[in-house]
Amino acid sequence: MSGESLRKGEQTQARILDAAYDLFMAQGYHGTSMRQIAERADLTLGGVYNHFASKEDIWVAVLLERHPYRAVMPLLRTAEGDTAEAFVRNAAQRLVGELSKRKDLLHLMFIELIEFNGAHIPTLYAHIAPELLPLFDVVSARAAGLRPLSLPVLARSFLGFFFSYYVTEALMPPVLRALMGDDALDAFIDIYLHGVLADGVARGELQGATTWRSEAEMHRENPLESAQSATSSFC
Amino acid sequence: MSGESLRKGEQTQARILDAAYDLFMAQGYHGTSMRQIAERADLTLGGVYNHFASKEDIWVAVLLERHPYRAVMPLLRTAEGDTAEAFVRNAAQRLVGELSKRKDLLHLMFIELIEFNGAHIPTLYAHIAPELLPLFDVVSARAAGLRPLSLPVLARSFLGFFFSYYVTEALMPPVLRALMGDDALDAFIDIYLHGVLADGVARGELQGATTWRSEAEMHRENPLESAQSATSSFC
DNA sequence: AAAATAATAACGAACGTTCGCTTTTTTCTG
DNA sequence: CAGAAAAAAGCGAACGTTCGTTATTATTTT
């Protein structure tokens, strides 16, 4: 019962981080107490302090160990597709797929931003910087099919565009999300690849091409009734 | 000294909301105490409770009164431009301009999401639903120049894409942001209008067209050194 | 036997909220 | 317009609870 197994203390430490992660995600940092962490880790309050000196130390450990880059970067690094379009499609689907499976991933960063004003972000980036650069190489290998945008612009627009898929998922009124249907991601990818303008169209099939004009006209016909029905479905 | 002026209690109530808003933005909901709110509103702790029954009531009042839609929707409703492209450009510049001037706008929604799990979002949308629909009409009037995407997809991609401009502004390592330069927004708009693919290019000048390939190759030459220099600039 | 880990109990401080009282403001009335 | 009556607003202290943290003591693991 030794050798490859973790030492007792390391197991407990991992249990504390597990408990803290779950609670932070559900209630935020200030909304979570040390007593809750201790109880969920099957430990007494005092016992926790044998492994972490403070509550904030627990947060930093959680942040460094569970930050979303850790989960997202391998997905992007191994994305498939020879052409730029196929690669972007695959990478976007992987990214959003993972984000929607694990809605907590970005949550961690938002807690850091909101409750700490990003005070630990420099520490975080110092921790993951070595993993960032190989990612650039993957993108640059497919650069031939892309317009000559700068690498930071590309990275930021790609991540931002599909991160926003997650954010709007949470922020949008349910009734609007329902109108969007299940192929919303395909429509997002399409916009990212080809833009919203109609000028250079005729690039093949367009998913998400619905009867939206008639919807809008319906709104114009009787805006008040639409507003009221929308209002009621919000609640 | 009466008539058009506010009653005394309403002034104080507004002062409480001002104070609470500032503190919530800086420290989050759970990170802010009623005593801090009282002090910043030049009031005693007990006095606050003459105007709000609880701390959470203050939060809801702040959320309903200061939510970003209130500031953003008039900007979009009065955006100019006859063609779809001109309109999108103008609307995006207005949106991001306002977001970067007032970095707190989205913060409010994130606090709601993180510290309350969005418990008040239905209330919020019930509150602003009547303002949402006129916005749809504005977009549908310019629909001719856009590809036939559904209205919700258009709304979500537009807001999401440029909201993400704000989010990545806060999340990205400073060294990457610096690489992007000041014309990053123009590049964002361009991507939203025309996409990232090179297939339908030759649409005129392209801002942000830098020597990014050489940068990437520099990284490939000596990845470790780049990583270390990047690491050091993070801190 | 030594070192690491856990439990117990307690600390002072801060939390949201309530209370009784005084002062100010508004409204009613002559 | 004055002044009393009513209502609203503000104060200061205290409530009971929970917070993060820390000693001290007991129990396991090495």
The answer on A107 and A82 residing in a single domain is yes
* Residue tagged 């702040």 (tokens): B62
Which residues of chain A form beta strands (DSSP E)? none
Q: Can you give the C-alpha Rg of chain A in angstroms?
A: 23
Domain-located, residue A60: no
pLDDT tens column, B147-162: 888 877 887 788 777 7
From the list A200, A31, A182, the residue with the least C-alpha distance to A191 is A200
The answer on A20 and A37 residing in a single domain is yes
Residue A27: the pLDDT is 93
Domain-located, residue A64: no
Domain-located, residue B120: yes
The answer on A169 and A73 residing in a single domain is yes
| Cα separation, B195 vs B157, whole angstroms | 13
Domain-located, residue B62: no
- Residues lying close to strand D (Cβ under 7 A), chosen from 3-62 of chain A, are 7-8, 32-36, 45-46, 49, 53-56
pLDDT at B218 over 50: no
pLDDT at A208 over 70: no
pLDDT at B201 over 70: no
The answer on B123 and B73 residing in a single domain is yes
Supply angle C-alpha B107, B32, B23, rounded to 5.
50
Mean pLDDT of A154-167: 75
The answer on A125 and A44 residing in a single domain is no
Confidence category of residue B204, pLDDT binned at 50, 70, 90: very low
Round and report the angstrom distance from CA (B10) to C1' (D6): 19
Measured from Cα to the C1' atom, the residue closest to C26 is B7
From the list B94, B128, B130, B92, the residue with the least C-alpha distance to B109 is B128
Residue A200: the pLDDT is 53
pLDDT at A205 over 60: no
Lowest mean pLDDT among A90-94, A196-200, B130-134: A196-200
Residue B3: the pLDDT is 34
Domain-located, residue A7: yes
The answer to whether strand D lies under 7 Å from the CB of residue B44 is yes
Residue B176: the pLDDT is 66
Residue A170: the pLDDT is 63
Q: Take residue B148 and report the two structure tokens written for it.
A: 């036939």
The answer on A33 and A95 residing in a single domain is no
pLDDT at A171 over 90: no
From the list B185, B104, B67, the residue with the least C-alpha distance to A153 is B185
**Residue A15 vs residue A215, higher pLDDT:** A15
Positions of chain C reached by protein Cβ under 7 A: 4-10, 14-20, 24-27
From the list B66, B23, B65, B15, the residue with the least C-alpha distance to B44 is B15
Residue A42: the pLDDT is 95
Q: Can you give the C-alpha Rg of chain B in angstroms?
A: 23
**B30 → closest Cβ in A31, A196, A200:** A31
| Cα separation, A220 vs A82, whole angstroms | 46
- Residues lying close to strand C (Cβ under 7 A), chosen from 13-42 of chain B, are 32-36
| Cα separation, A189 vs A205, whole angstroms | 13
Which nucleotide has the shortest C1'-to-CA distance from B58?
C16
Domain-located, residue A148: yes
Q: How far is B18 from chain A (nearest CA, A)?
A: 19
Residue B13: the pLDDT is 96
Q: What is the CATH number of the domain that holds A9?
A: 1.10.10.60
Round and report the angstrom distance from CA (A42) to C1' (C11): 24
**Residue B157 vs residue B3, higher pLDDT:** B157
pLDDT at B172 over 80: no
Residue A59: the pLDDT is 98
pLDDT above 90 covers a percentage of chain B that reads: 28
Residue B155: the pLDDT is 78
Mean pLDDT of A167-193: 75
The DSSP symbol for A41 reads: T
Mean pLDDT of A62-72: 87
Name chain A contacts of B157, Cβ cutoff 8 Å: 161, 187-188, 191, 196
Lowest mean pLDDT among A31-35, A153-157, A181-185, B220-224: B220-224
CA B130 centroid distance within chain: 21
* Residue tagged 């997002």 (tokens): A188
- Give the residue from chain B lying closest to A174, CA to CA: B122
The answer on A44 and A34 residing in a single domain is yes
Number of domains in chain B: 3
pLDDT above 70 covers a percentage of chain B that reads: 77
Instruction: Select, from the ranges A86-90, A125-129, A184-188, B203-207, the one with the highest average predicted confidence (pLDDT).
Output: A86-90
Looking at the DSSP bridge assignments, the partners of residue A197 are B146
The answer on A190 and A74 residing in a single domain is yes
pLDDT at B74 over 60: yes
Confidence category of residue A185, pLDDT binned at 50, 70, 90: confident
Confidence category of residue A48, pLDDT binned at 50, 70, 90: very high
The answer on B207 and B165 residing in a single domain is no
| Domain span holding position A13 | 3-55
Domain-located, residue A166: yes
Mean pLDDT score of chain B, rounded to an integer?
A: 78
The answer on A41 and A127 residing in a single domain is no
**A171 → closest Cβ in B109, B143, B168:** B109
pLDDT at B230 over 80: no
Q: How far is B7 from chain A (nearest CA, A)?
A: 32
The answer on B167 and B230 residing in a single domain is no
Mean pLDDT of B172-193: 77
Confidence category of residue A199, pLDDT binned at 50, 70, 90: low
pLDDT at A193 over 60: yes
CA B186 vs CA A150, B168, B193: distances in Å: 12, 15, 11
Mean pLDDT score of chain A, rounded to an integer?
A: 77
What's the whole-model pTM score? Answer: 0.78
Domain-located, residue A61: no
From the list A229, A11, A59, A124, the residue with the least C-alpha distance to B132 is A229
CA B104 vs CA A45, A140, B107, B108: distances in Å: 36, 35, 5, 7
CA A13 vs CA A28, A36, A124: distances in Å: 20, 15, 20
| Cα separation, A49 vs A52, whole angstroms | 5
Which nucleotide has the shortest C1'-to-CA distance from A52?
D21
- Give the residue from chain A lying closest to B87, CA to CA: A197
Mean pLDDT of B201-216: 40
Mean pLDDT of A131-140: 78
pLDDT tens column, B34-58: 999 999 999 999 999 999 999 999 9
The answer on B92 and B45 residing in a single domain is no
Round and report the angstrom distance from CA (B36) to C1' (C27): 34
Inter-chain contact A156–B168, Cβ cutoff 8 Å? yes
